[in-house]
Amino acid sequence: MPRQSYVNGRYVPHASAAVHIEDRGYQFADGVYEVIAVAGGAIVDEGPHMERLFRSLAEMKMTAPASAASMHVILHEVMRRCRVRDGAVYLQISRGVAPRNHAWPADIKPAMVVTARPIAWPRNFAEVRAIEILAVPDQRWGRPDIKTVALLPNALARMQADAAGAADAWMVDEDGMVTEGTSANAWIVTEAGELITRQLSRAILAGVTRRAILEFAGANMLAITERAFSLEEAKAAREAFQTSTTALVKPIKKIDETVIGDGQPGPVTAKVFEAYLAYLTSFGGGN
């Protein structure tokens, strides 16, 4: 079966899937989204993702086009039609279609699309390669805690990193404190072995992978602190890594021109990765 996607109530061939030219997601970046991991045919952390999605909708004063239960059915049907057992599903909701105007009509109907793609998850930490990071100014709007499709600053930062030979960028606020990566939460390990990630606020997205790691890292007796850390502190760290739905736990070997630790993935990062990989695969019964 060729790849299919869901568009506003219909399952259509992915190659011909389309939305209206006056969809506000296209014209105003007026929409929200979620990227959700799939492992062994099961959706990973569906509850937290739906919780964050509905929070984003509420913050944007948008109406949900379907209930969480209906979205569950749609997500699984797209996975089935695309034969995705390991990978990710992408769900996007825009405010809908209306004549172009900054203000939207009261009766606007939200639009929803869902796609799925396969991902070969790493089998162990030995398969994971450390990456280089470029530090850039954080130029996003004031509400990156809302998972909107307004990702131009993130995309520009990623392209700047790519041009510099780095895999990603860490964004730094006006006080010199790291906020997050272009699509990942940032973490460091201090010389004392303490695991640090920035506390939740309007400055960062509440990552679902971040949330899971905080829960089982604490259970594994890792010392954890949620606080802001500076770019200088990150460069002086013993280890650094970032977390996201599709990259899981990605070790960092270099920030700008500074090598982190000995330039190799560290033991704390390895422990966090292996624990999260076991958590991920548990959703599909270990498949």
Active-site annotation, residues: 147
Buried b (16+ CB within 10 A) or exposed e, 170-202: bbbbeeebbbbbbbbbbbbbbeeeebbbbeeee
Two structure tokens written together for 151: 């990702």
Residue type at 8 in one-letter notation: N
Nearby residues of 238 by Cβ (< 8 Å), 6 or more positions away: 189, 190, 191, 193, 260, 261, 266, 268
Give every strand in the sheet of 31-39, ordered side by side: 10-13, 4-7, 111-118, 87-94, 31-39, 42-43
Nearby residues of 35 by Cβ (< 8 Å), 6 or more positions away: 88, 89, 90, 245, 246
- In angstroms, the CA 274 to CA 287 distance is 16
Nearby residues of 11 by Cβ (< 8 Å), 6 or more positions away: 4, 5, 77, 78, 81
- In angstroms, the CA 244 to CA 131 distance is 14
Q: What is the dihedral of CA 74, 78, 80, 85, to 10 degrees?
A: -110
